[in-house]
Structure 1
Amino acid sequence: MDKRKIYTVTEVAQRVQRLLEESIGYLWIEGEVSNLSAPSSGHIYFDLKDKTAVIPVAFFKGFHGKLKFELENGLHVICYGKITSYAPQGKYQIRAEHLEPKGLGALMLAFNRLKDKLEKEGLFDEKHKKPIPYFPQKIGIVTSISGAAIRDIIKVLRRRFNNLHILIYSVRVQGDCAFAEIANAIRVFNAMDEQADVLIVGRGGGSIEDLWAFNEEEVARAIFASKIPVISAVGHERDWTISDWVADLRAPTPSVAAELAVKRKDELEAAADQYSRAIK
């Protein structure tokens, strides 16, 4: 009687998979991207290699949707994922859930690539810039209702022209969902029957991570598509975002944005008086 334990190929493959997932599981790994493939399924496949070894990587579309940079062969990346096996091909692989470039940093690389892309498309061209109205009566503001920026903006607006009509659309200004809320708020303002004369879109200062929502492509395209002139007011004078480049006017701070949006009432009254005398 044959007492040997004989496994099927599937059984061995399943045991190998369990061993890999239980003994190693999730891990961080770095290497160079090669053999990059992006089939119509929406998934991304590539090899992660160094000088002496190669590991296949599967990056499914449910995870790479938030990728902030363009993946390409030769790019050195840091990958987080689960080590597992793929039985149909008899090989082990990493199922990636997060990727970031090594070196420049994910955010700066994403910023520069998106900036170059939009600049080539003409989104920053002066010919697309809409003039800020000389005498706006209705000001739309897209920012957080709980932040310091909104208090600064309202304080300046009231000081310069107290009886303005101010509309505020409160949004989150940082975090994963912030960019979608900001872009949607701009679209909502543009869809109103009685539109604002000018929009101020921004927030107070912070780190590049804090300001990142204003570097997202969806926000940039919403600003560009806006029929209402947009003043970008993100952070401090040293802070530059993609929104600043695509907006009709960039303000170094939210307070300055309010000053650029509305002239002082006494200045307008003096100008009106001067015109009146000139007519007479």
Structure 2
Amino acid sequence: MIEPKVFSVGQINRYIKNLMENDFILSSLLVKGEISNFKAHSGGHFYFSLKDAVGAISCVMFKQDALCLPFLPENGMSVIIFGHVSLYEKTGQYQLYAEMMEPVGIGSLQIAFEQLKRKLEEEGLFDQDFKRDIPTHIETIAVITSPTGAAVRDIIQIAKRRDPRVEIAVFPALVQGERAADDIVRAIKLANEWGKADVIIIGRGGGSMEDLWPFNEEKVARAIFASEIPIISAVGHETDFTIADFVSDLRAPTPSAAAELATQPLQQRLEGVAQLEGRLQRNILAILEDAKRRLLYLKERPVLKRPLEQIRNTQLLLEGYELDIEKAFNRTILRYGQRVGVLDGRLYASSPLAVMKRGYVMALNENKKTIVSVKQVEIDEVLQLRLQDGHIRAKVLEKAVMADGEKEAEL
């Protein structure tokens, strides 16, 4: 009897995986569906499900393919995916390995544009509070564009025609292609490091959305926002809008219009200077006339006409103050002297010496303590009697105490 062959789980999964990868349809196919459960892993891989009305399939897009997407997939987005179906041997789950992705109904660049616009707007890069005013009198313009394009010729021609004295510095940069965004960022940094320009014009002529895409790159938007010099964007035609237009300090519909916004006709500037000169002359004359009136007014003041009279009046006033102070001081001294005399009389009247003058004696024991009661002394005890003019040492021969209702009683 032939025993049946027993397979391991790994062998079965590997066999099914080979079947899928060698299948004509599953090895290369386009799948349409709606993204759900989307997750962008920290390693750069995308994990999500692709579903329709009747089913769903797990999908993965590895980092090297995800980096090529100009937009970030979102839940609910309808897409067409090119890839292949295979089995993940570790879990035995089959999944779609996405290699390319294209939105349904709208271009991937348009989605990327809207996503970046929403992101930067939420961060505040488009807020008017951060936009700087373009200087009124510009002497030097920095132009960031292709040195061979029509845009740079239009900017130079119009700016020089309006103001021949304006200086223009061209910072060459690629404005189309994969390296254009990095080149534009480099040129913005160079213009700021140079630091001599009053304003920067950045832009190019018209083209498709793909042609203008470098001006929709996030790195370009952040470089414009970080610029210390005001920036005028002039990208494409009047109907073209880029991220650079929203983040810049001023948007011009065309490069030619940017040159007009950055300059002022020389004749107009000369007229403005003449107006300022006339205003300055009128202000100076008005100041001189006002100073003349003030001088005449001060000249007629009595203090300038009769300065000694004012000094004498001040002396009299000070003498009056001095006399008033002396009188007040004397009154105060007299009042306090009277109060001291009264207090001195009261103090003397309450003094034991004053009482002794009336015939009273103060008795002290040997410890110098005042005797106030006969109970404090004993027979034969020696006491000191203080009189007004000296003291006497006496010995107690007998003592008596006055009781209530009695004149005296012996102890």
- TM value normalised by structure 1: 0.87
**How much does 1:93 deviate?**
2.4
Q: 1:194 maps to which residue?
A: 195
Q: 5 Å matches for 1:202-241?
A: 202-241=203-242
Q: 5 Å matches for 1:133-152?
A: 133-152=135-154
Larger Rg: 2
Q: 5 Å matches for 1:39-50?
A: 39-50=41-52
Measure the CA separation in 2 of the matches of 1:42 and 1:59: 9
Partner SS, residue 89 of structure 1? coil
Partner SS, residue 167 of structure 1? strand
Measure the CA separation in 2 of the matches of 1:72 and 1:203: 32
Measure the CA separation in 2 of the matches of 1:142 and 1:27: 44
Taking structure 1 as reference, are residues 125 and 279 closer, same or farther at Cα in structure 2, changes over 3 Å only?
Answer: same
Taking structure 1 as reference, are residues 26 and 166 closer, same or farther at Cα in structure 2, changes over 3 Å only?
Answer: farther
1:86 aligns with 2:85: no
RCO comparison, higher one (Cα < 8 Å, 6+): 1
- In structure 2, which of residues 116, 123, 126 is the aligned counterpart of residue 124 of structure 1? 126
Partner SS, residue 95 of structure 1? strand
Measure the CA separation in 1 of the matches of 2:186 and 2:5: 62
CA deviation string 1:107-136 (max 9, x = no partner)? 333323322322222222211111112222
**How much does 1:45 deviate?**
0.5
CA deviation string 1:92-113 (max 9, x = no partner)? 3232233232223323333233
**How much does 1:256 deviate?**
0.5
Residue identity opposite 2:240 in structure 1: D
Measure the CA separation in 2 of the matches of 1:36 and 1:46: 4
- In structure 2, which of residues 135, 157, 160 is the aligned counterpart of residue 158 of structure 1? 160
Measure the CA separation in 1 of the matches of 2:204 and 2:13: 53
Partner SS, residue 147 of structure 2? coil
Measure the CA separation in 1 of the matches of 2:161 and 2:27: 60
Taking structure 1 as reference, are residues 137 and 21 closer, same or farther at Cα in structure 2, changes over 3 Å only?
Answer: farther
Taking structure 1 as reference, are residues 41 and 267 closer, same or farther at Cα in structure 2, changes over 3 Å only?
Answer: same
Q: After alignment, is 199-208 or 160-169 more displaced?
A: 160-169
Partner SS, residue 211 of structure 1? helix
Taking structure 1 as reference, are residues 177 and 16 closer, same or farther at Cα in structure 2, changes over 3 Å only?
Answer: farther
**How much does 1:228 deviate?**
0.7
Taking structure 1 as reference, are residues 206 and 6 closer, same or farther at Cα in structure 2, changes over 3 Å only?
Answer: same
Q: After alignment, is 221-230 or 72-81 more displaced?
A: 72-81
Measure the CA separation in 2 of the matches of 1:143 and 1:19: 54
Measure the CA separation in 2 of the matches of 1:126 and 1:212: 24
Taking structure 1 as reference, are residues 239 and 162 closer, same or farther at Cα in structure 2, changes over 3 Å only?
Answer: same
Partner SS, residue 210 of structure 2? coil
Measure the CA separation in 2 of the matches of 1:26 and 1:183: 39
Q: 1:111 maps to which residue?
A: 113
Residue identity opposite 1:78 in structure 2: I
Measure the CA separation in 2 of the matches of 1:259 and 1:277: 27
Partner SS, residue 272 of structure 1? helix
Taking structure 1 as reference, are residues 34 and 276 closer, same or farther at Cα in structure 2, changes over 3 Å only?
Answer: same
- In structure 1, which of residues 19, 33, 36 is the aligned counterpart of residue 35 of structure 2? 33
Q: 1:20 maps to which residue?
A: 20
Partner SS, residue 261 of structure 2? helix
Q: After alignment, is 248-257 or 263-272 more displaced?
A: 263-272
Taking structure 1 as reference, are residues 193 and 25 closer, same or farther at Cα in structure 2, changes over 3 Å only?
Answer: same
Residue identity opposite 1:147 in structure 2: G
Taking structure 1 as reference, are residues 82 and 118 closer, same or farther at Cα in structure 2, changes over 3 Å only?
Answer: same
Partner SS, residue 43 of structure 2? coil
**How much does 1:48 deviate?**
1.1
**How much does 1:202 deviate?**
0.9
CA deviation string 1:46-84 (max 9, x = no partner)? 111222232221112232234333422222112233433
Measure the CA separation in 1 of the matches of 2:120 and 2:231: 17
Partner SS, residue 210 of structure 1? helix
CA deviation string 1:148-177 (max 9, x = no partner)? 211211211222233433222222223333
CA RMSD of aligned residues (A): 2.5
Question: Do the aligned residues in 1 keep the contact of 2:83 with 2:96 (CA within 8 Å)?
Answer: yes
**How much does 1:43 deviate?**
1.5
Residue identity opposite 2:182 in structure 1: A
Question: Do the aligned residues in 1 keep the contact of 2:44 with 2:66 (CA within 8 Å)?
Answer: no
Structure with a larger share of its residues in helix = 2
Measure the CA separation in 2 of the matches of 1:207 and 1:225: 27
Q: 5 Å matches for 1:41-80?
A: 41-80=43-82
Q: Percent identity?
A: 47
Q: After alignment, is 195-204 or 250-259 more displaced?
A: 195-204
CA deviation string 1:28-59 (max 9, x = no partner)? 32211122223333321011122223222111
**How much does 1:6 deviate?**
6.9
Q: 1:279 maps to which residue?
A: 280
